[in-house]
Structure 1
Amino acid sequence: MKITVLVDNNTYIDRYYLAEPAVAYFIEDGEMRLLFDTGYSDVFLRNAHTLDIDLKNMTYLVFSHGHNDHTGGLKYLTSALNCQNINLIAHPDCFAPKYDDNGNYIGAPFTEAEISDIFHFMPAREPLWLSPKLLFLGEITQSHSWEARCAIGTIEKNGAKSPDYNYDDTALVYLTDDDGIFIITGCSHSGIANIIAQAQKLTGRAKISGILGGFHLLEDNERLHDTVDYLRSLELKMLYPAHCISLAAKAAMLKYLPITEVGVGLKIEL
Structure 2
Amino acid sequence: MKKAGTDGMKLRVLVDNNTYIDRYYLGEPAVSYYIECDGIRLLFDAGYSDVFLKNAEALGIDLGLVTHMVFSHGHNDHTRGLKFMKERLELSGMEVIAHPSCFDEKVFGEESIGAPYSAADMAGICRYRPCGGPCNISERLVFLGEIPDAVDFETRKAIGRTRIRGKWQDDYVRDDSALVYRGEEGIFIITGCSHSGICNIVQYAQAVCGQQRVLGIIGGFHLFEADERLVRTIDYLKCCGAEQIYPCHCVSLRAKARMMEALNVKEVGVGMELCLDGQAAH
Same fold (TM over 0.5): yes
Length-normalised TM-score, structure 1: 0.98
Q: Which of 64, 71, 76 pairs up with 2:84?
A: 76
SS in 2 for 1:131: coil
1:261 to 250, 264, 267: 267
Deviations 1:114-140 (A, max 9, x none): 111001000110110011111000000
Q: Distance in 1 between matches of 2:38 and 2:100?
A: 28
Of residues 235-244 and 131-140 in structure 1, the stretch that sits farther from structure 2 once superposed is 235-244
Match of 1:130 in 2: 137
Residue ranges of structure 2 left out of the alignment (5+ in a row): 1-8, 277-282
Matched, 1:86 2:91: no
Asked whether the 8 Å contact 2:38–2:140 carries over to 1, the reply is no
Matched, 1:9 2:10: no
Question: What is the aligned counterpart of 2:222 among 216, 230, 241?
Answer: 216
Counterpart residue number, 2:103: 95
State the aligned residue count.
268
Of residues 116-125 and 232-241 in structure 1, the stretch that sits farther from structure 2 once superposed is 232-241
Task: Look up the match of 1:23.
Answer: 31
Residue 163 (str. 1) matches residue 170 (str. 2): yes
Give matches, 1:173-252, under 5 Å. Answer: 173-177=180-184, 179-252=185-258
CA distance in 1, matches of 2:105, 2:257: 35
Deviation at 1:237, TM superposition (A): 2.1
- Name the aligned partner's letter for residue 242 of structure 2: L
| Superposed displacement of residue 235, structure 1 | 2.5
| Deviation >6 Å, runs of 4+ | none
CA displacement at 1:112 relative to structure 2: 1.1
How far 1:252 moved relative to its partner? 0.5
Q: Equivalents in 1 of 2:242, 2:78: separation in Å?
A: 26
Per the TM alignment, residue 232 of structure 1 is displaced from its structure 2 partner at its CA by: 1.1
TM-score, normalised to structure 2, is 0.94
How many angstroms apart in 1 are the aligned matches of 2:241 and 2:197? 19
Are 1:111 and 2:118 counterparts? Answer: yes
Quick check: 1:153 aligned with 2:160? yes
